Structure 1
Amino acid sequence: MPASRTKKAPSTRVPAAGSAREKLIAAAIATVRYKGFSATSVDEICQAAGVTKGAFFHHFASKEALAVAAAGAWTDIAEQRIFTQPDWTRIPDPLERLLGHIDFRLSMLDGPAEDFTCFVGTMVQESYNSSDPIRAACDASIRAYALRLAEDIQQAIDIYGIASGVSAVSLAYHIQAVLQGAFILAKANGNPVIARDSVMHLQRYVIMLFTQK
Structure 2
Amino acid sequence: MTGKGSRTRERILEAAHDLVMRQGYAATSIDQILEAAGITKGAFFYHFKSKASLAQALVERYAAFEEGMMRDILARAEKLSADPLQQVLIVVGLMEELFEGLEGPHPGCLFASYCYQNELLDEDVKQVCTTGMLEWRRVLVSRLEAAAERYPPRLAPDYRSLADMLTVVLEGAFVVARTLGDSRVIVEQLRHYRSYLELLFAR
- TM-score bin (small chain): 0.7 to 0.9
Shift of 1:199: 1.8
TM-score normalised by structure 2 residue count? 0.78
Going from structure 1 to structure 2, the CA distance change for 1:208 and 1:188 (only over 3 Å counts) comes to same
Shift of 1:166: 2.4
| Whole-angstrom CA distance in 2 between matches of 1:88 and 1:48 | 38
* Seq. identity, %: 27
Tell me which residue corresponds to 1:34: 22
Tell me which residue corresponds to 2:77: 88
Shift of 1:17: 8.4
Contact 1:71 1:141 in 2 (8 A): no
Residue type at the aligned position of 2:43: A
Shift of 1:43: 2.5
* Structure 1 segment 128-143 matched on structure 2, within 5 A: 128-133=118-123, 134-143=125-134
2:173 aligned with 1:182:
yes
Secondary structure of the 2:6 match is coil
TM-score normalised by structure 1 residue count? 0.75
Q: Which has the higher helix share?
A: 2
Tell me which residue corresponds to 1:98: 88
Alignment RMSD: 2.8
Aligned length: 195
2:32 aligned with 1:44:
yes
| Whole-angstrom CA distance in 2 between matches of 1:69 and 1:205 | 37
Gaps of 5+ in 1: 1-15
| Whole-angstrom CA distance in 2 between matches of 1:198 and 1:43 | 38
Specify which of 138, 141, 158 is matched with residue 150 of structure 1.
141
- Which range is displaced more, 22-31 or 65-74? 22-31
Secondary structure of the 2:25 match is coil
Contact 1:75 1:145 in 2 (8 A): no
Tell me which residue corresponds to 1:11: none
Secondary structure of the 1:211 match is coil
Secondary structure of the 1:37 match is coil
Tell me which residue corresponds to 2:199: 208
Going from structure 1 to structure 2, the CA distance change for 1:113 and 1:37 (only over 3 Å counts) comes to farther
